[in-house]
Amino acid sequence: MTIQFNDETFRDDYTFHNSDWAIRRFPFPFHEDSYMYSVNMEQHRGGPAGSVYEKRFDVDEHYVSEMKDRAIVLAEDPLRCQSLPHMTLAGWDLLELIMVSKSEDYPDLFELHRDGNDWRWINRPLGIDDRFTFLDEATLPYGPMEYITRQTQGDFAVLDQRDENLWMDAGMVTTQADWSLDFDIGMNFFEWHAPVPLAHEMGIFKRALKFLLNVQQGNPARRLNWTMTVNPLLDTSPENYHKWGIQKTTLTPENIGSKQHLRVELQTFFRLPRSNALVFPIRCYMIALQDVVTVPKWGRRLHRVLRDVPVELATYKGFIGNRPLIVDYLSQFDDGLPTSDGIWPDLDTEPPLRKG
Which positions are annotated as active-site residues?
223
Which of these, 200, 203, 330, lies nearest to 260 by C-alpha position? 330
Give yes or no for a contact between 280 and 158, defined as CB atoms under 8 angstroms apart: yes
Give yes or no for a contact between 221 and 44, defined as CB atoms under 8 angstroms apart: yes
The DSSP result for 27-48, as a single string, is ----SSS--------EE----S
Give yes or no for a contact between 294 and 275, defined as CB atoms under 8 angstroms apart: no
Instruction: Quote the crossing angle between the two packed helices 323-331 and 296-308, to the nearest 10°.
Output: 150
Residue type, 290: Q
Would the CA dihedral through 81, 86, 91, 94 be positive or negative?
A: negative
Q: To which H or E segment does residue 159 belong?
A: strand 155-162
Q: What is the torsion angle, in degrees rounded to the nearest 10, for the CA atoms of residue 176, residue 181, residue 187 and residue 193?
A: -20
Give yes or no for a contact between 29 and 224, defined as CB atoms under 8 angstroms apart: yes
Distances (CA, A) of 236 to 103, 228, 248, 283: 31, 11, 12, 14
Helix, strand, coil share of the chain (percent; to 5): 35, 20, 45
How far, rounded to the nearest angstrom, does the alpha carbon of residue 143 sit from its chain's CA centroid? 23
How far, rounded to the nearest angstrom, does the alpha carbon of residue 234 sit from its chain's CA centroid? 10
Query: For the sheet containing 118-123, what is the strand order?
Result: 110-115, 118-123, 128-133
List, in sequence order, every residue forming a beta bridge with 262; answer none if it has no partner: 228, 287
